[in-house]
Structure 1
């Protein structure tokens, strides 16, 4: 029996129903998954607009199967779910690090917050961050290349009045040229 098959048989509950058919991902599987995700990004499965092309998880499934033969890591059942979790955690940590009171500890590979009141206030408006305080997230830097450009960050945005003013200035400049 392969190591992965043994780990999977120990980590998947047989109970059925919502939230009962869970799989525990091990560190070596997460490393391979993030590596496969980066490989998929680098080989053209990520569109210019930041979204992935259809069936990219099937490609990841094949990569994972080549690394862990016989694991049974199916795209729909396990990989999509794990990617969703990693993206949610990445986004929560990314948002934390843009806020005063949070910083990245490169030795521990985690977002840290020294003050309980800042952390508690953060959790009120960011429930996805629950459990991430001082929790190691070793793939943050790699996932920045994958998920970092998927979110609007406000750069380059303008208020409506600024847009109107820019259009008026452009029209005035064109009138000067036409005269």
Structure 2
């Protein structure tokens, strides 16, 4: 099955919303990679929310791989002195031409370029967190199948008719149609089995992960803090200064973790005034 497809903005928005909710439920490991079965579950949720959409777990895996490559490039720039975030233009910016040329020279194949709009970056900071290694996500996708004892779609087989003389075009068409239907049924049955396995333990798993997640709340919040501050367009020196002070204050970090994205800029403004 082809893993590439054209995505529209609405589909991207639904995809990221689902992933953001899953991250909040603890399906992302502490290392940043997603837990086994995530891509199958995401594809299932997208089919529920967008009637008629033709999407499978392989499409999700391929899309996130491309998004992560672009996110990683932006992340590298945001962690390089001289780069910043323009919230109005929704892009990574750099004013110093020498710094720009040096970065481009070192990253000729970067998916994300300076001064090019990348409005998804702030949301991807939440989705990917600290996970920047482009290979780890592909690994977790394979594990999602292997850990359940089910075959990947790439290993699908279909029944072949006994050897016989070359059939007429009408017979060949009929045989091909039967094979396609069998493959489709096999794929659908496989997906249904995977989803059934995930759903069986989903509520229990989420409950347990939430319990475990409480102990990691501050650790995760501290790890994401610099990226979130950079996404607000703050100069890198301010990002460092705020991060170094805020992570030491447990009470303030507790407040920070309860705020949504629209409230955090006001919090930082008040916090900076108190410095």
The bucket for the TM-score relative to the shorter chain is 0.5 to 0.7
Shift of 1:119: 2.4
Q: CA RMSD in A?
A: 2.4
Shift of 1:122: 1.1
Shift of 1:115: 4.0
Does the CA-based 8 Å contact 2:73-2:112 persist in structure 1?
Answer: no
Equivalent pairs, count: 133
Choose which of 92, 96, 104 in structure 2 pairs with 1:111: 92
Structure 1 moving runs of 4+ over 4 Å: none
What's 2:139 paired with?
none
Q: Report the CA distance shift for 1:116/1:25 in structure 2 as closer, same or farther (over 3 A).
A: farther
Q: Report the CA distance shift for 1:28/1:128 in structure 2 as closer, same or farther (over 3 A).
A: farther
What's 2:41 paired with?
59
What's 1:39 paired with?
21
- Taking CA–CA contacts closer than 8 Å with sequence separation of 6 or more, which of the two structures ends up with the larger relative contact order? 2
Q: Report the CA distance shift for 1:25/1:102 in structure 2 as closer, same or farther (over 3 A).
A: same
Choose which of 89, 92, 96 in structure 1 pairs with 2:77: 96
What's 2:107 paired with?
126
TM score, norm. by length of structure 2: 0.44
| Partner Cα distance (1:72, 1:130) in 2 | 26
Q: Report the CA distance shift for 1:117/1:24 in structure 2 as closer, same or farther (over 3 A).
A: farther
| Partner Cα distance (2:15, 2:89) in 1 | 21
Does the CA-based 8 Å contact 1:40-1:59 persist in structure 2?
Answer: no
Matches within 5 A, 1:117-156: 117-130=98-111, 132-151=113-132
Shift of 1:103: 1.2
Q: Which runs of 5+ in 2 are unaligned?
A: 134-222, 224-275
Shift of 1:111: 0.6
Choose which of 31, 34, 50 in structure 1 pairs with 2:32: 50
TM score, norm. by length of structure 1: 0.65
Which structure features the higher share of helix residues? Answer: 2
Choose which of 64, 68, 78 in structure 2 pairs with 1:87: 68
Does the CA-based 8 Å contact 2:93-2:114 persist in structure 1?
Answer: yes
What does the per-residue CA deviation read over 1:75-126, in whole Å, with 9 as the maximum and x for residues that have no partner?
A: 11x2111101111111111110111232100011111123444323212222
Q: Report the CA distance shift for 1:81/1:112 in structure 2 as closer, same or farther (over 3 A).
A: same
